[in-house]
Amino acid sequence: MSARTITGLAREGGVGVETIRFYQRRGLMPTPERWSRDGVGTGIRRYGEEDVRRLKFIRSAQTAGFTLEQIKELLSLDAGADRARARVLAAERLTALDRTIADLEDARTALRRLASACAAKDSGPCPIIAAFQGEAARGSRAVMTAKDCGLAPALD
């Protein structure tokens, strides 16, 4: 087994040292004992191949959009016995991704309509700026839709 310092682990995992410490505080990564010639409790912490594998798992799961709590649960699952729970977590993530994609598509449609409305005439207030000012005045961070911009009929 190749032992490495936290700096070496961070380099192999493509993260910063503080990221590893954060994962340790959140219970995603173990914090090894300090070792030296004098024994346990003094010296430098050493990380092994399992720590590298775990760190890369965490990063891959984050890239797929799993939350840290979901990743913690995935890490606790047995690869052979807990397939059903892993499928449930994946299905939940897919549902969330589908919602995000739909929201982004709505935003793209609304922005295209705003840009088109802005290009259609050179006088009066710019529809793009007016739409965002209206959104800011409402204090909302919601995705702007064509309906919000007055460019589509309400389907109430």
* DSSP 8-state assignment for residue 33: P
Residues 64-83 pLDDT 10s: 999 999 999 999 998 788 99
- Asked whether the predicted pLDDT for residue 122 surpasses 90, the reply is no
d(CA 21, CA 5): 12
Quickly state the pLDDT bin for 138 (edges 50, 70, 90): low
pTM across the whole model = 0.69
Please name the CATH architecture into which domain 6-64 falls.
Answer: Orthogonal Bundle (1.10)
Q: How far apart are alpha carbons 24 and 32 in whole angstroms? A: 10
Q: Looking at residue 39, what is its pLDDT?
A: 67
Domain ranges of the chain: 6-64, 77-156
Report residue 112 CA to chain centroid gap: 27
Provide the token pair at 36.
């030296």
Q: Put residue 65 in one of left, alpha, beta given phi > 0 → left and psi -120 to 50 → alpha.
A: left
Report the pLDDT value the prediction gives residue 152, as an integer from 0 to 100: 47
What's at 38, amino acid-wise? D
What is the separation, in whole angstroms, between the first and last Cα of the chain? 64
Distance CA 85, CA 107 (A): 33
